[in-house]
Structure 1
């Protein structure tokens, strides 16, 4: 697999890759309306198709992906208000998945939620993304999350492999926070208001939370990818990963990054350890996760049953 091979490349090779470009994402997009009325229902369909096409046809990196290697992504956008014609308030949730090596199983990697954003949209003006300059708030938002999803995916294949893509996301944050091109002020870029975007990227690039990102590598590449052949070694690697994530939780309680991880992984973690023959390992796991992720403690308790 290309992404398995990329895990062996130094980070500078990702930035200095050759001219071959291909699409990295395979996104499904659903746009819905919540307590708002849109007189022309085809507008929502066109918006949905444009968002999907932007995500799936943009070459976000310089790496060539085979069709089966593209990162699967589900995007749910809910329009919550229409302050004026052509202007929309919305929420968004993204869930990315990753194949597990040697199996047909696909695992959720991260679940991200943007609780509030606004954007302008007109069917007469296609959504256009630029890596280096602001074009619209919706384009910036899609580009920002595309790079986060790619970066997190790379972190699962190589230690800190996502760093170059977080830097590209940072560039989008900077030019979007300072844009004066359109009337789309969005406090999410400035670290105020809903703050998810700003804080999430800060979490991913904070050296004090590096244990979370190295934990992703231990969880996926050294854990899930070898589970079918070496289940006990895989569980040990997952425990190492979770210990790193525990350190991140202790360092930064309530960090959006760790919340997004457990939102995606709680059920899977319970399933991994439910069949473990090691009773002490189960006890250690449940004690650790009940402390760092109390909201899912009932799921973790099933490991002991």
Structure 2
């Protein structure tokens, strides 16, 4: 698959992704914008906002590599408008879910499921939504650019060990220049690293050498596990178990990491399904004991593996 090859390109080549010469269009996004107990005088603004965000994500080249339609990363984005402090200013909550196909099947598996509760921005239907990888344009374009790079980086990590590194570096650029911008009245604490669920914190989780097991776990879970499950289910379970063990150890080393919470939010049901049909009772008990420690919120799902 092309995406497997993309993940192992040399760093120098990948860093060309900011150049305008390629038309990669890596994302295939669905965007839904809704209102939450707020009144909008012109309801057509919501539809245009939704269309502008979808077009921005899908039509922009985020890397320098061409993608066939079946190779694009599927992404669902849900934005709920909660407040409109003033005309053109929106306080929203955003949930984003990206998926990836499992080799040899028609199954799509979640890679990231994350909620941003301070997804706040200014928006005008008359102003084009533009973006620069190296300078601030607007908070909305920075938010979308940051998450585009994060989604692509995590997708690459599932196809090659640490394959997403160049994209996390680009996401870091967005964090740095947006956190320091003073050109607009769009202050956003989510860029500052002051909270345990902000964008700065998620990026730190994925780039901290002490937490590298998070990312190598992605490769073990998906490429060495899910992608071979149809042909070699026991080998696949062993690889998934090893990946989860690494993720669990990293989570214990650094409790309450945003990556771990997001990972298990996306994968808890799937993990239970992977091991429910296993005949290895010892493996299943080890799995349940380990996951209840690191993800107690989903303990009931893991306990069901033993029934």
Give the TM interval when normalised to the shorter protein. Answer: over 0.9
SS at match of 2:84: strand
Contact 1:116 1:194 in 2 (8 A): no
SS at match of 2:99: strand
Structure 1 length as normaliser, TM-score? 0.97
Residue from 43, 46, 61 that aligns with 2:45: 43
Residue 152 of structure 1: CA displacement?
0.3
Residue from 283, 300, 303 that aligns with 1:301: 303
Of 14-23 and 147-156, more deviation after overlay is shown by 14-23
Q: What is the correspondence of 1:154-165 to structure 2 with a 5 Å cutoff?
A: 154-165=156-167
Contact 1:115 1:194 in 2 (8 A): no
Give the aligned length. Answer: 305
1:2 aligns with 2:6: no
Q: What is the correspondence of 1:74-89 to structure 2 with a 5 Å cutoff?
A: 74-89=76-91
1:214 aligns with 2:200: no
Contact 1:219 1:238 in 2 (8 A): yes
Residue 171 of structure 1: CA displacement?
0.3
Supply the distance in 2 between the matched residues of 1:147 and 1:224 (Cα, whole angstroms): 23
Contact 1:211 1:244 in 2 (8 A): yes
Unaligned runs of 5+ in 2: none
SS at match of 1:229: coil
2:193 corresponds to which residue? 191
SS at match of 1:65: coil
Supply the distance in 1 between the matched residues of 2:176 and 2:7 (Cα, whole angstroms): 29
Residue 35 of structure 1: CA displacement?
1.0
Of 194-203 and 57-66, more deviation after overlay is shown by 194-203
Residue 145 of structure 1: CA displacement?
0.3
Structure 2 length as normaliser, TM-score? 0.96
Contact 1:147 1:165 in 2 (8 A): yes
State the Cα RMSD in Å. Answer: 1.4
Supply the distance in 2 between the matched residues of 1:295 and 1:197 (Cα, whole angstroms): 23
